[in-house]
């Protein structure tokens, strides 16, 4: 299957920067209720307080009352990307194993569920094509990798784990 499209290499950067941002003291004051929305055009990231991708209008208390913010996922790090791409599966440097596919009500397009194939790593990923703009793909990461990305290993000089140790961290 076709993985990395031609110039879409910045996905690696996105995924890494996400991991870096979280592990190195969360410089952008993220927490579980924050969503990072990357725009592919400018690669500028903006922190969205009122969750844009998940409807929370049903509740009055905003984030806490949102249906996605149940008690069991408190402290779970989640990032949502919306990227213009014609391919659903974008290689961000990690190994993903698909474990489910569901069609959501709001969109005619199905939603795919992936999980990091590395043992002990509980990071999940959900890929969905934008219903309004079929040329856009919404990818949501959930969780933090407790291991090093193969891409980081690849780009790290051998014997030097400086870059990797930031991600692998001391969790």
Partner DNA sequence: CGGCTTTGACCCGCGC
Partner DNA sequence: GCGCGGGTCAAAGCCG
Binding of DNA by 105 (CB under 7 A): yes
Binding of DNA by 70 (CB under 7 A): yes
Binding of DNA by 97 (CB under 7 A): yes
Distance of alpha carbon 5 from alpha carbon 114, whole angstroms: 19
Among 17, 33, 111, 121, binds DNA (CB under 7 A): 111
Distance of alpha carbon 15 from alpha carbon 22, whole angstroms: 11
Among 50, 52, 100, 134, binds DNA (CB under 7 A): 100
| Beta-carbon contacts of residue 41 (< 8 Å; ≥ 6 apart) | 84
By beta-carbon proximity to DNA, the closer residue of 1 and 41 is 1
Among 67, 131, 134, 150, binds DNA (CB under 7 A): 67
Interface size with DNA, residues (CB under 7 A): 19
Binding of DNA by 64 (CB under 7 A): no
E strands present in the chain: 35-39, 45-48, 78-84, 96-103, 110-116, 124-129, 136-142
Q: How many helical (H) and strand (E) elements, i.e. helices and strands, does the chain have?
A: 3, 7
End-to-end CA distance of the chain: 34
Binding of DNA by 95 (CB under 7 A): yes
Evaluate the CA torsion angle 7, 122, 31, 129 in order and state its sign: positive
By beta-carbon proximity to DNA, the closer residue of 50 and 67 is 67
By beta-carbon proximity to DNA, the closer residue of 23 and 124 is 124
Binding of DNA by 99 (CB under 7 A): yes
Find the binding residues for DNA in span 130-149 (CB under 7 A). Answer: none
Q: How far is CA 10 from CA 6, 7, 38, 49, in A?
A: 10, 8, 11, 25
What residue ranges bind DNA (CB under 7 A)?
Answer: 58, 67, 70, 95-102, 104-106, 111, 113, 117, 124, 126
């Amino acid at each position: 299957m076709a993985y990395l499209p031609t110039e879409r290499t910045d996905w690696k950067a996105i995924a890494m920067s996400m991991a870096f941002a979280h592990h190195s003291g969360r410089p952008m004051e993220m927490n579980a209720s924050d969503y990072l929305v990357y725009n592919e055009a400018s690669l500028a990231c903006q922190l969205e307080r009122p969750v844009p991708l998940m409807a929370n209008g049903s509740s009055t208390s905003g984030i806490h009352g949102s249906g996605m913010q149940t008690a069991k996922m408190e402290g779970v790090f989640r990032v949502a990307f919306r990227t213009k791409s014609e391919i659903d599966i974008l290689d961000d440097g990690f190994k993903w194993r698909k474990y489910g596919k569901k069609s959501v009500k709001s969109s005619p397009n199905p939603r795919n569920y992936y999980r990091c194939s590395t043992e002990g790593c509980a990071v999940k990923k959900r890929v969905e094509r934008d219903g309004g703009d079929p040329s856009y793909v919404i990818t949501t990461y959930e969780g933090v990798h407790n291991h090093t990305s193969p891409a980081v290993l690849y780009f790290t000089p051998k014997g030097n784990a400086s870059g990797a140790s930031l991600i692998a961290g001391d969790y």
